[in-house]
Structure 1
């Protein structure tokens, strides 16, 4: 029955991986921009490496974005401004001027003839000024069209007159007249002058858009069969524009009709091949990760996240594709797993994105180099300065790489797109988001990072303080084991921070009954003396189960709980087993055996050796180097004979290195001092 359940679980796990694989391939292909891929790669300033290229179809030469923008700017700078003529204002001004002149004539007792003369001159001046109209301020454009009685009348620059100019004209014309009161007439007319030409923004914008819509996005045609470029010919400015036009025409035509299905099939096969490489790598070199569906899901989730972000950027504005912080991927994976896996996944992701990004060779080159720099420079991310230094180096690599490619393409350092430097800096700033992202991934996938390990290693944490108060001997023992295990892990290249934290918490189950463990007994009274050996063994064994329960209640990560579960493996509680044998002939050793499992990693194996050596070393009397050497060899040999390291990926050479460190550390602990005279 047990084997059947194991087979079901194994097949279920494998079925989930197949499902994850198929869904990932489908999503990535779905994310890709809907367009074909031009079958030739070319770069400005480099030779054409293929055979002579003849135009396969008739197509138009597309203008560049800069050319179109220049034409649009030219039209905007020379646009025509439209003004409306308000005739009612002139009538209102004449009416007001007539009334004020009548009052002026009455108050000064002018004759009817003088009054009529002033009125005629004033009206003539007004008609003269408003013949074309008066602006409030001089127009900013030389191209003006006056809309009057539904008729568009172009105005010459010398026809423009603003409010101040109109008043000067009033003064000039009245000064030449023969009216009786020039000053009075001038003041009356000037005080009533108002602008009657008003800017029509709606009509102006409509006319502008109409002119912009007339811009042609092409400049010339290329007929089918025409030689576009010969083999070995350098791709220069004109050829580069023609090739780009052919590429756009080819890709837009390719994605139509039955071609769509072939393109989808091609993308699917290529993406599937890349992801198969990932599965093969995990199966061959990271089998413990391959067996863990949660970790496999986490890796695929990160790949999909980067592919989605990049393809969205390509669809919206491919010029800013380097703004996507792709180096977050190796940073995160290195933090949770190892550098080799992080770089491998990063390279595969870049290969997938190479299908859709512009200048794929340049993109792949820069991103792989940046990924390598990330792996080489990013270490101990729990130290904030390290992340900032790493991000600075990544940004510098992008900038240097861009300079190099620009020099190759252009043959000079002119026309550098300085905005790309801002994009690279933005990329670096977004890469700093790796820290909060790591925290979110910890909570979402139940993983553990170096930052969390550093927090857990604080001996002032709530749980370790509780251990120190309830079981001070166990707490001191855990500190000693942590020091031994950390040194051994550093020696063989294991995760020293992880094994240290695991050592600090491995015996927290002893808090339940601390006095039943010798390190916490402060008197000569031993509670085991009043208990049968089988019951005493059960209390000792139960500290593993109780430790797991305490760890879960305090939300310790599973990777730390693994150390609690495995630090005794399936070894015997040998002392009480022997005592029971003195009482009865046949003893079931399962009653005196820890439940396991046995260690399944280098780190848990190191903890088992360090814990056993440190605990047993308390019984040493007058230790010498030879005694310590034999003592460590005996304990580790016993564990190996009990097959406790079969599932751990630790080699015999590494076990020898661990034993060497344990001997050195114990020698330092028990070194003899010169006796000082009293």
Structure 2
């Protein structure tokens, strides 16, 4: 059905084809999803009577009410006060320094009594000096002001008397400020300081008022508001405020009720007014579709792969995606009729299983994420703010897990095992979901969710197996059924090998047995290896008699040819075989086996022969063009091919000889770097060696001699 379309698309450049397909898919996706995001709205007006009872279709936060509650809490928070001993010491230090300066000025250049005029001039200078010092201090401490008369009066006192006054004031200030003093306590503390000064014997009556004024100005707050800690306490209290919410299903206005400003605001907040938000879901959905389309486009633009494969993969993933979207649409239509979430029946692993088996793992991860997000939007219960998150996570986790469980084995049995693993994963997630909702569920509801989880997993595997042949046939992919068809001995190419190169045919069957067994031992595709082995030497049909297995005792033509000519003929069978297979439209996997099964290995016999003949030869000239094996299957065929040919040349093959020869061949290929571009591990190579030895021993076992 899709073959004519695919043929047409092959002629288009991938860039333009991808834009056309992605654009067309975006329009279709928008059309299918729009009905799921469009919500019901009402034509209502403020200060009118509501014609019907209206409930909120979603849970939303009432930010106005929440903010009002936060402002109330902020106003009630007690400020954080912090007592500072440094303030006490600072005020005492100011008092001490004032008197120290007075005493210092008083003692500087005191004139003798014989010169009253100079004495008067010196006194004026002292008053001026003290006044200037006080003025500087008053810039930082505005309350510390003394008149020239008060300074002059203090300067008339003796040093001992000034020290006594200094000590008394410092003591009283220290005593009163050592207790927490807030702004509201200042008047009380100043009065107490004044009272103590009036009762003190150390204060002369003539200086009492001056020192009271000075001491009162030294009284300040010692316990102040710590703005940082207070703001932190306010933030903590505000953060502890539970948001005020309008809950899904909550009645906002009843039929016949007057719609006041508060009710109208709540209707606006929940998006239930026709004149308010009808276009928002459409714009949001457009942005989502653009976002998804951009991800797909960027993925394919950054994918380093041939355009033919990219075109095919693009069509495959969109075909799978829209099958799933249609399933989501059907589920969303029936979900409203049930009290339980029918969406949990959705096959969580269908997208990743199909995409990985038909394309690659990277695309499978991308499609899992996109499918999960789309399902979260389409399979909503009521109207969520954005999406039904539990459904999105349910599909995401199930899909990712299926990719890990499936691994690289796409056989039907493994797909079924994967689906069971996904079913168990689904049960665990639904258990998490039901427990986190902290709701009570009836036994029938729990039974439904258990069955839904298992059904989702099993359905994923069953649909994958059921849809695989459709995709393989529609897009020309290599399936197990196709491989079985190619293994039929009546296939024209196999008949060609059998009739034109019977020795090669026999050799290919032997290699197929070895490769199949070895692939099975390491989890590779044994069927692909078997069928590929049947065709791997088809290039030998071009010049059959130049290959020893087809000579049947005839003269070896290489004896008469120079080494470079023999080299060209032998090497050509790999490229000739690939060309023949490509010409007959064989799957690319089979073509690759023919081209790569010798990798870049050395034709050692002819290389040594050329050297013995005295030719100036380079080793690279006697190597196959490659490329080296790119897959496990091709690497194993390469080993099996060499081992079968080598063991067949042994005169008396024994288990010991076979084992030694197989080890030598594998080690030689490993050291030559032939396995550098495939993912065979050393552990797998040991398994392959063991299986090939066992199989060869079974083939070349010793037989008893029958009597004549």
TM-score bracket relative to the smaller structure: 0.5 to 0.7
Which digits, 9 at most, give the CA deviation of each residue in 1:570-591, with x for residues without a partner? 2233323333334452135565
Match of 1:349 among 358, 363, 371: 371
- How far did 1:328 drift? 4.1
- How far did 1:324 drift? 7.2
**Corresponding residue SS for 1:586:** coil
1:606 alignment partner in structure 2: 636
CA, structure 1 residues 14+565, in 2 after alignment: closer, same or farther (shift >3 Å)?
farther
- C-alpha distance in 2 between matches for 1:653 and 1:450: 27
Question: Structure 1 residue 465 and structure 2 residue 495: aligned?
Answer: yes
Which digits, 9 at most, give the CA deviation of each residue in 1:229-249, with x for residues without a partner? xxxxxxxxxxxxxx9x99985
Match of 2:314 among 286, 297, 308: 297
- C-alpha distance in 1 between matches for 2:611 and 2:483: 43
Question: Structure 1 residue 639 and structure 2 residue 640: aligned?
Answer: no
- C-alpha distance in 2 between matches for 1:676 and 1:221: 112
- How far did 1:617 drift? 1.6
CA, structure 1 residues 382+267, in 2 after alignment: closer, same or farther (shift >3 Å)?
closer
Match of 1:500 among 517, 530, 537: 530
CA, structure 1 residues 248+321, in 2 after alignment: closer, same or farther (shift >3 Å)?
farther
CA, structure 1 residues 349+61, in 2 after alignment: closer, same or farther (shift >3 Å)?
farther
CA, structure 1 residues 318+623, in 2 after alignment: closer, same or farther (shift >3 Å)?
same
Question: Where in structure 2 are the equivalents of 1:95-134 lying within 5 Å?
Answer: none
- How far did 1:315 drift? 7.8
1:544 alignment partner in structure 2: 574
**Corresponding residue SS for 1:635:** helix
- C-alpha distance in 2 between matches for 1:302 and 1:446: 15
Question: Where in structure 2 are the equivalents of 1:145-184 lying within 5 Å?
Answer: none
2:158 alignment partner in structure 1: none
Question: Structure 1 residue 488 and structure 2 residue 532: aligned?
Answer: no
Question: Structure 1 residue 511 and structure 2 residue 541: aligned?
Answer: yes
| 1:335/1:450 contact within 8 Å kept | no
Which digits, 9 at most, give the CA deviation of each residue in 1:273-296, with x for residues without a partner? 98799899x98xxx9899963575
- How far did 1:563 drift? 0.4
| 1:499/1:603 contact within 8 Å kept | yes
Question: Structure 1 residue 329 and structure 2 residue 359: aligned?
Answer: no
Question: Where in structure 2 are the equivalents of 1:434-473 lying within 5 Å?
Answer: 434=464, 437-473=467-503
| 1:563/1:604 contact within 8 Å kept | yes
Which digits, 9 at most, give the CA deviation of each residue in 1:10-65, with x for residues without a partner? xx9999999999997887567532636977499xxxxxxx8542379998779xxx
- C-alpha distance in 2 between matches for 1:403 and 1:640: 50
Unaligned runs of 5+ in 1: 1-11, 43-49, 63-217, 227-242
- How far did 1:392 drift? 11
- C-alpha distance in 1 between matches for 2:394 and 2:256: 34
CA, structure 1 residues 573+331, in 2 after alignment: closer, same or farther (shift >3 Å)?
same
CA, structure 1 residues 364+577, in 2 after alignment: closer, same or farther (shift >3 Å)?
same
**Corresponding residue SS for 2:478:** coil
Match of 1:54 among 242, 246, 256: 246
Unaligned runs of 5+ in 2: 1-12, 40-56, 62-241, 337-341, 382-387
| 1:510/1:547 contact within 8 Å kept | yes
Match of 1:572 among 602, 607, 610: 602
- C-alpha distance in 1 between matches for 2:522 and 2:268: 58
| 1:33/1:315 contact within 8 Å kept | no
| 2:419/2:461 contact within 8 Å kept | yes
- C-alpha distance in 1 between matches for 2:346 and 2:504: 50
Question: Where in structure 2 are the equivalents of 1:68-467 lying within 5 Å?
Answer: 250=272, 255-256=277-278, 261=283, 264-265=286-287, 271=292, 293-294=310-311, 297=314, 300-302=317-319, 304-306=321-323, 308-310=325-327, 312-313=329-330, 328-336=350-358, 345-346=367-368, 348-359=370-381, 360=388, 363-364=391-392, 367=395, 411-412=441-442, 434=464, 437-467=467-497
CA, structure 1 residues 426+673, in 2 after alignment: closer, same or farther (shift >3 Å)?
closer
More off after superposition, 406-415 vs 362-371: 406-415
| 1:605/1:645 contact within 8 Å kept | yes
| 2:405/2:421 contact within 8 Å kept | no
| 1:59/1:249 contact within 8 Å kept | no
TM (normalized to structure 2)?
0.53
- How far did 1:568 drift? 1.0
- How far did 1:516 drift? 2.0
**Corresponding residue SS for 1:33:** helix
- C-alpha distance in 2 between matches for 1:358 and 1:350: 12
Which digits, 9 at most, give the CA deviation of each residue in 1:369-388, with x for residues without a partner? 876689969999887x9989
- C-alpha distance in 1 between matches for 2:506 and 2:258: 85
Which digits, 9 at most, give the CA deviation of each residue in 1:75-134, with x for residues without a partner? xxxxxxxxxxxxxxxxxxxxxxxxxxxxxxxxxxxxxxxxxxxxxxxxxxxxxxxxxxxx
TM (normalized to structure 1)?
0.55
Question: Structure 1 residue 557 and structure 2 residue 575: aligned?
Answer: no
- C-alpha distance in 1 between matches for 2:246 and 2:374: 30
1:652 alignment partner in structure 2: 682
| 1:58/1:222 contact within 8 Å kept | no
- How far did 1:504 drift? 1.8
**Corresponding residue SS for 1:355:** helix
Match of 1:623 among 653, 664, 674: 653
CA, structure 1 residues 404+566, in 2 after alignment: closer, same or farther (shift >3 Å)?
closer
- C-alpha distance in 2 between matches for 1:526 and 1:246: 94
